[in-house]
Structure formats: structure tokens, C-alpha cells
Structure 1
Amino acid sequence: MDHSSPTIIFSIFYWLFAFCFIVGPADFKGAGLTVENLLSSWLGSEEIDFVNFHIKRTSATLIVHCLFPIGYYVGMTLVPDSGVSFGDMFSTSLELGWHVYSSISLVILLGALTVVFYWQINSWSYHPIATNLSLYKSEDNTSDSAWRVQASEVNNEFRRIDKYATSFVGWTRVIVTENWIIVTSLYGVKLTPQDKATISVLQTEEHAVSPESNAMVQYVHLRIKPTIQRTLKPYFARVISVEFKDLKESLRTRVYTLPDLSILQSTDELFLKAFREQLNQNDRYTSSDPLDQCIGCMQRDAEVKLTKNCGSTGPHECKSCNCKPMWCAECMGRWYASRQDRHRIETWLSGSATCPMCRAKFCMLDISLLDT
């Protein structure tokens, strides 16, 4: 084996671990490999002291993540035949590439420590969360700790059961309390009173697979603009479309949405969109017979025919349906969805159903749009 193999193997595993620790896939979060879990005794409880919890969390996250570059150098000193030793870090005999890397790594770590040290002056009064809250302090309170009045209000409202919190999208989550809109992210938290913010929907995006649930998903991109000062920049958040309705209802401020923007607010709507896209890729069925109305909705003409196009074999193989076209694409999609496991949405597109009339088994590939 080449002498450099241990170095290569360590490098791959180290940076893969670092990437997963920072990005935080579901498996890492489930295993407790997050800053919140590892430092839980110091961070305290989010439920009891929301503001201080996130002040500490964001500070610790910044330092821990900035430890990874210098941690790689220290780890390499333990790898056999790596040519790197801890004592040579500040030596002129160190190879130029490693000398530059170790110097930059130390600068990154020292920069993070300096930033956090500055934040904690005067009991964290210079932390971005504190300066964010100080924007909304009363005019007659000019002390540096005036932000704690708003922090206490946020903490009290977060403890209540009537708050609304969306699911995490990556590291981002939107929380709505009685008076505040809160967006938490990996390195920061944005807080704005509801009556001092305008919220608009910028766009939506669909994905066939969600990293959080391995199922189809639509994300809604929100733009939140504080109105207390014109110079304040807006901030952004993503929420899952099926949670958008509940989020909107929990807000006292209006959410501006473009009239031509389609927000799919249920799992069935998300599936029907993916269902239609799959039909457009399937083989078409040519028919010269006059079409009847869909017997499901009685509003559209029949649009689909069930005919075996897949290559399934065996006792559970799909069958060709001898029924004439009687269903529109939407009604067939709703029938198909109704025959799937509601707790395993990620399997719907690869599942199967039976013809509503003759009970012949079919899958997604066996549904053909009509060419007339």
C-alpha cells in the first residue's frame, strides 16, 4: 500500500465528518452529533430561556465550526508518515503548504474567538441577537441592557403553547408567537415584531425528494422586511408548503402572495403535480372512439387509459385493463393516492393500485394519456 494512503483515508473521513457535522443531515441529528446536544448542559433550555439559549448556541456553533481547519492539522500529526508534527507548526522547517494552511487555520480560529469575546461584553449586549432586539426598545430606555426587556417578552411568549413553529428546513425554522416573528438559522436568529414587519412570498420550488422526509416537497420562499427603519435589510426563510396555511393563520400581519403563484398546501396536491409530470413521460394511448365525461367529477372528458407498459412479472404483476377510458387525470390521480400508505409518502410513485372498475392491478407506468 502506498505510504500516502493513511493520509488520504484520514483526510476523506475527517472532511466528510466535518461536512456532515456542519450541514447536519437527519442521521447526524438523530445520533446527537450537534452542537446543541454536545453542549446541552451549558446552553440550557430553549423552552425556558429562548434568547439566551440561542445567543450561546450561535456563539458556540461559530467557534466549534472554526475549530475544524486547525483540527485537521492536529489530526494529521497523529497519522503515520504524514510528514507533519505538532512541534513544527511555527517552525520554518515546515513545508510551505502546511505552514500556510496552519497559519490560516489559526487566524480563522482566533478570529472566531475574538468575535465571540466582543459579543459577550456587558453580558452579551453586543451579540447580533441583542442588537436586533435593541432596535425595538422603548425610546426612554437608552441603556445597553435595554434589549433584555424585549428578550423577556420573547421568552415569555415562546413558553406558551399557542406559538407556531414550522419544521426545520435545513437549519432554518420559522416561529410565530403572539407578537413576534422569529427565524432561527445555523449562525443567527432574526426577531421582528409582527406589527413592524411585512411578509411576502417570493417564489416556490418543488423537489421530487426532500432531504428531511425522502418524499416529494414544495418549498415556499418568504421575504420578511422590518419596517421600523428603511435601512434595515430584509431576511429570508423557507417553509414547507403544507405548513404554509397554518403559518399564515398564526400571523396577525398580512402575507403578500402573487396571484399567479401556486402553493400546494396538502400532500395530495403535491402528489397530483408529480403524478401529472409522470404521465407526461409515459407512453400515450391512441384512441379514435368518442370520449365520455369522467365518471369521477363529471366535469372533464376522460383523459387516461390503463394499459400495461411496465415490465413486471410474477404473481403480483400488473395487468392490462379492458375498461374503456372513463377517468380524467386528476380523478385517477386521487384514486391512486387513496390506495397508498398515508404514512409512507415516499413510496407513492413506486406503488400500485387497482382499477376502480375491474380491479386490474396497475402502477404509475401503466397510466397513459389519450391521443385522440
Structure 2
Amino acid sequence: PAGYYVGMCFAASEKRLYSPGQAPEAWQLFLLLAVTLPTISWTLIYYWSRDRWARHPLARTLALYALPQSGWQAVASSVNTEFRRIDKFATGAPGARVIVTDTWVMKVTTYRVHVAQQQDVHLTVTESQQHDLSPDSNLPVQLLTIRVASTIPAVEAFDIRLNSTEYGELCEKLRAPIRSAAHVVIPPEPGRPVPGDLCLSVEVNPAYSVPSSQ
């Protein structure tokens, strides 16, 4: 924005932008934002980078799980090691990715990373949404919202969403059971067919006629 303002000083010299005190009010406001926002951003980045990034929000969260003789870097190394394994559970869109490893439950969004340790969390299915059609198939899809709340007060709770067909795989990766709110219907165990989906699959399949010779 500041570079754009400087360019407009030459492109629109009649507006006298080179003298902010004589420029139109709209351009004065634009210049103020062009200077203030980068200043705040760089100040925040500088603050986070102090003490080897120990003041960053993610580093502070990881530090809650660090042993007394170690720091948040050791926890980050553990998370990275488990993340590289192929047996992790991963689902969700790129802007709201859900990843569950042997020790950690993570939600990676565009601007934030939520992290919680499995042994310290309570998981509760808080919402279930039924959609008539799935983008990937012509069958109905059920989306579950699961609340991940840590027993550590400083760790902020967060929600994860996934397809009900992935619920069984998630349960296999988790150590703690998932509770359900009273108004939410939990899908059946993995491998057990859902009656509604089974009936719909039967209806869409063509009938098979046995030849008279048999």
C-alpha cells in the first residue's frame, strides 16, 4: 500500500499527495493505514521472534507439554516426527485439516494451528449434519462436529469436522473414547452397514434376473 501511494504521488500530481497535509481526506486515511498496518505487523513479528520464537502462540501452546528440563522445541520435534509417519489419521480440506497421531490431535487452518495431547483431552460429538448428496458420490453424507477440550486450562478448545464414514478410523487412532451429546446420533461401528445407506444402495442397483436354464 505504501508503494502504491508513492506511485500515485507521480501519477496523480494534481491531488498533491506528496504533501499529506494537503491531500484529500480519503488519501490521508489510506496513507495512515498503509503505514500503521505494516508497523503493527512487524512489531508483532519482532515480539514473537524474541527468545527464539518462544513468545509465538503455537510455541506457547507446545511449551505447556514440555518437560521441566526441555523446551517447546523438543515438543515440536516430537510432533514433527509423528507427523511424518504414514499411520497417522488425516482428513479435511486444506484450510481445515485434521490430523491425529499416536500422541497428538491437531487442526491446521489457514492462519492457526491447534494442538492438544491425546491423554489430556475430552472429545465430544456436539453436532451431526445430514446432507442429501455428497460432492464425491450420489449418496447421503453425515458430517460430525467433535469438540476437543483439553484438561489443561491454558489450551484453547477447538472443533474438528469429519465425515461419519471416517468416524470409525478416528476412534481406532484415539486413546480416549468419544462422548456424544444427547441429541446427536453416533454412526455404527466400522464394518457395520448403515441401514439407510444399505437400502439406498439396493434401490439404485439394477435387478438381476436368473436365467430359466438354472
Same-fold status (TM-score > 0.5): yes
What is the distance in 2 between the residues matched to 1:173 and 1:186? Answer: 9
> Could you tell me how far apart the structure 2 residues matched to 1:87 and 1:206 are?
59
Preserved contact between residue 15 and residue 24 of structure 2 (Cα < 8 Å): no
Deviates more, 1:236-245 or 1:147-156: 236-245
Which residue in 1 is equivalent to 2:178? Answer: 255
Inter-CA distance 88–257: structure 2 relative to 1 (3 Å threshold): same
Which letter does structure 2 place at the counterpart of 1:251? Answer: L
Which residue in 2 is equivalent to 1:164? 89
2:142 counterpart residue number: 218
Listed one character per residue, the Cα deviations across residues 138-182 of structure 1 (whole Å, up to 9, x for unaligned) are 1344xxxx11111111111112221111132x6111111111111
1:132-171 correspondence runs (5 A) = 132-141=61-70, 146-168=71-93, 171=95
Letter in 1 for 2:158: Y
- What are the residue-to-residue correspondences of 1:26-41 with 2, within 5 Å? none
The equivalences for 1:234-253 within 5 A come to 234-253=157-176
Distance 1:264 1:221, change over 3 A: same
Identity, % of aligned pairs? 25
Distance 2:155 2:203 in 1: 49
Counterpart pick for 1:186 among 107, 110, 121:
110
Residues 84 and 204 of structure 1, relative CA distance in 2, 3 Å threshold:
farther
Give structure 2 stretches of 5+ with no counterpart: 210-214
Q: 2:4 aligns with which of 74, 90, 96?
A: 74
TM-align CA RMSD: 3.6
Question: TM-score, with normalisation over the residues of structure 2?
Answer: 0.76
**Structure 1 unaligned residues grouped into runs of 5+:** 1-69, 274-329, 340-353, 359-372
Query: Structure 1 CA distance, aligned partners of 2:63 and 2:15?
Result: 45
Quickly say closer, same or farther: Cα 1:114–1:200, change in 2 above 3 A: same
CA separation in 2, counterparts of 1:335 and 1:103?
65
Question: Which has the larger displacement, 246-255 or 256-265?
Answer: 256-265
Select the structure that is richer in strand: 2
Counterpart contact for 1:205–1:218, Cα < 8 Å: yes
User: In structure 2, what is the equivalent of residue 129 of structure 1?
Assistant: 58
Pick aligned residue for 1:199 from 123, 127, 131:
123
The one-letter amino acid paired with 1:121 is R
**CA separation of 1:109/1:178 partners in 2, compared to 1, >3 Å: closer, same or farther?**
same
Change (3 A) 1:85 1:154: farther
Aligned residue identity for 1:227: T
Give distance in 2, aligned partners of 1:124 and 1:153: 17
Structure 2 equivalent of residue 323 of structure 1: none
CA distance in 2, matches of 1:250, 1:119: 33
CA gap of 1:191–1:233, structure 2 versus 1, over 3 A, is closer
Structure 2 SS opposite 1:335: helix
Any residues of structure 2 matched to 1:1-372 within 5 Å, and which?
A: 70=1, 74=4, 88=17, 91-141=20-70, 146-168=71-93, 171-208=95-132, 217-228=141-152, 230-258=153-181, 260-263=183-186, 331=199, 333-337=200-204, 339=205, 356=207
Shift of 1:264: 5.5
Between Structure 1 and Structure 2, how many residues are aligned? 202
Note if contact 2:180-2:186 (Cα within 8 Å) is conserved in structure 1.
no
The structure number with the bigger radius of gyration is: 1
Provide the C-alpha distance between the structure 2 equivalents of 1:195 and 1:90, rounded to a whole number of angstroms: 61
C-alpha distance in 2 between matches for 1:161 and 1:202: 29
Distance 1:238 1:98, change over 3 A: farther
Q: Distance in 2 between matches of 1:262 and 1:85?
A: 67
What SS does the aligned partner of 2:175 have? Answer: coil
